[in-house]
Structure 1
Amino acid sequence: VRVLCVYMQQYINPKMSGLKLFFDTFSQPSRAVLILCHAYKIPFEPKLIKIGEMEHQTNEEFAEVCASRTVPAIDDDGFQLFESAAIMKYLVCKHKLPDHWYPADLQQQAKIDEYLHWHHANLRMGITPIMFNKVFLPKKTGQPPNEVIIRTSEKILEKTLKLLESHFLKDTKFINSESISIADLQAVCELTQFWVAGVDPVADKPRLSQWLTDCQKELAPHFDQVHEAVYTARDRGTFKGML
């Protein structure tokens, strides 16, 4: 039994439509949700929230939907939800997407959840502070990077990349699975944040590099479509040399 999905189905009317998706393409978790929506042609009304312009703090419609003021968030005909992992599980269940995205088998599902719960305090905690303090904040304000935060985050990142390789991808092609899942979406979109500065965070890690390539192939052409803003920033050299 798909434990979480059975619970969610109580609140889903398949005849309903009108999904609003609040996102920023420079937001890693936003990209994960966008790729899933594009891959299965899930219709939605795009609601771009430009974090760099502080719209997550000033947009009144967004504030009504998302108490945490974080993207992504959805309003599905009055059903409001934030946090990308929760949103992706909801969409997989509602639209009955292929089982590999969030497996019905309880143990397989638990292994996907294992990564999703680990992700926020580990891989994301390693990457987001580096990008914010070393790239985005200095670019916007001209203030020097916070070296203490950066050094701490770099240690976290190195540790988490090792665990991603040695545990989550130890015996399987994708994260804890032979098939791609929402766990891979979450992870790969986190790592591609470095691309805005023209840096490949797994260039010296063959196993992770192969996994990232496998994810790109599985998600084509939607992966590149959703990463268009990232590629543009990289190609223009907007953040070149800042990492």
Structure 2
Amino acid sequence: MVIKLYSVSDGPPSLAVRQCLKAINLDYTLINVDFGAGDHMTEEYAKLNPQKEIPVLDDDGFLLSESNAILQYLVEKYYDGNDLYPKDPKSRAIVNHRLCFNMAFYYSSISAYVMAPIFFDYQRTPLSLKKLHIALDVFNTYLKTLGAKYSASDNLTIADFPLCTATMCLEAINFDFSKYSYVSKWYETFKRENPDLWKIAEEGMKEIAEFEKNPPDLSHMDHPIHPIRKVK
């Protein structure tokens, strides 16, 4: 049995799942989905995920999309420890909260400000900047209130993976979030104490930084949701 992960090399959700696989020391086959070539928009890929989003996990024919669900599945099936995804209901609820917060509020605000203007016909506006600062301020408050080393506990949990890969998008465009001191401290702690996991995110960050300077031409792609920017 070989686990396959369909992943995009600079996508924060994909990178978060790769961090998890590394953390639990699980062997897998990495299948690169070329976003620029529109691999995810094909009918063949739609058989893996009708949403045509990335990543997708294939565990011996069991297909699972949505990175949060993949993270939860991987640790529940393949990890014996109680640290990455605690079994205590309250502790687990905090982890689940952080996962939901990232998906619905934190990364969505970061993606709208950082990623969408790079890859599609969106602009960085005062409103998107305001929403980004609100998201950072809320995350800063959660970290301050919890008073723990990591986002949901004093030890690393699966919640830290997507929060880290979301935050690295800001670093990729040299966005200064240092005034959010708890976010900055958590982020630097993650990088310092988990170099193998950070290396995965860093590789994606470098790609985003390069795309920030030289946006990709996606004019050949027919995307049903996002307007395609024409690169001059």
TM-score band by shorter chain is 0.7 to 0.9
**How far apart, CA to CA, are the structure 2 residues paired with 1:24 and 1:59?**
17
CA RMSD of aligned residues (A): 2.2
Report what 1:130 is aligned to.
Answer: 113
Q: Find out whether 1:195 has 2:168 as its counterpart.
A: no
Report what 1:173 is aligned to.
Answer: 149
**How far apart, CA to CA, are the structure 2 residues paired with 1:232 and 1:126?**
20
- Cα distance, 1:168 vs structure 2: 3.7
Which runs of 5 or more residues in structure 1 are unaligned?
Answer: 1-16, 138-142
Matching of residues 137-156 of structure 1 within 5 Å = 137=120, 145-146=122-123, 150-156=125-131
- Cα distance, 1:97 vs structure 2: 4.4
Moved over 6 A (4+): none
Q: Find out whether 1:158 has 2:133 as its counterpart.
A: yes
- TM-score, normalising length from structure 1? 0.80
Which runs of 5 or more residues in structure 2 are unaligned?
Answer: 216-232
Greater RCO (Cα-Cα under 8 Å, separation 6 or more): 2
- 1:69 aligned partner, one-letter code: K
- 1:39 aligned partner, one-letter code: A
Q: Find out whether 1:116 has 2:89 as its counterpart.
A: no
**How far apart, CA to CA, are the structure 2 residues paired with 1:195 and 1:120?**
19
Q: In structure 2, do the counterparts of structure 1 residues 233 and 114 end up closer, same or farther at CA, with 3 Å as the change threshold?
A: closer
- Cα offsets for 1:177-223 (capped at 9, x unmatched): 111111111111111123333x1442332221110011112321232
Identity of aligned residues (%): 23
- 2:46 aligned partner, one-letter code: A
**How far apart, CA to CA, are the structure 2 residues paired with 1:233 and 1:112?**
27
User: Between Structure 1 and Structure 2, how many residues are aligned?
Assistant: 214
Q: Tell me which of 180, 184, 187 is aligned to 2:160.
A: 184
- TM-score, normalising length from structure 2? 0.83
Matching of residues 230-241 of structure 1 within 5 Å = 230-231=205-206, 234=209, 237-240=210-213
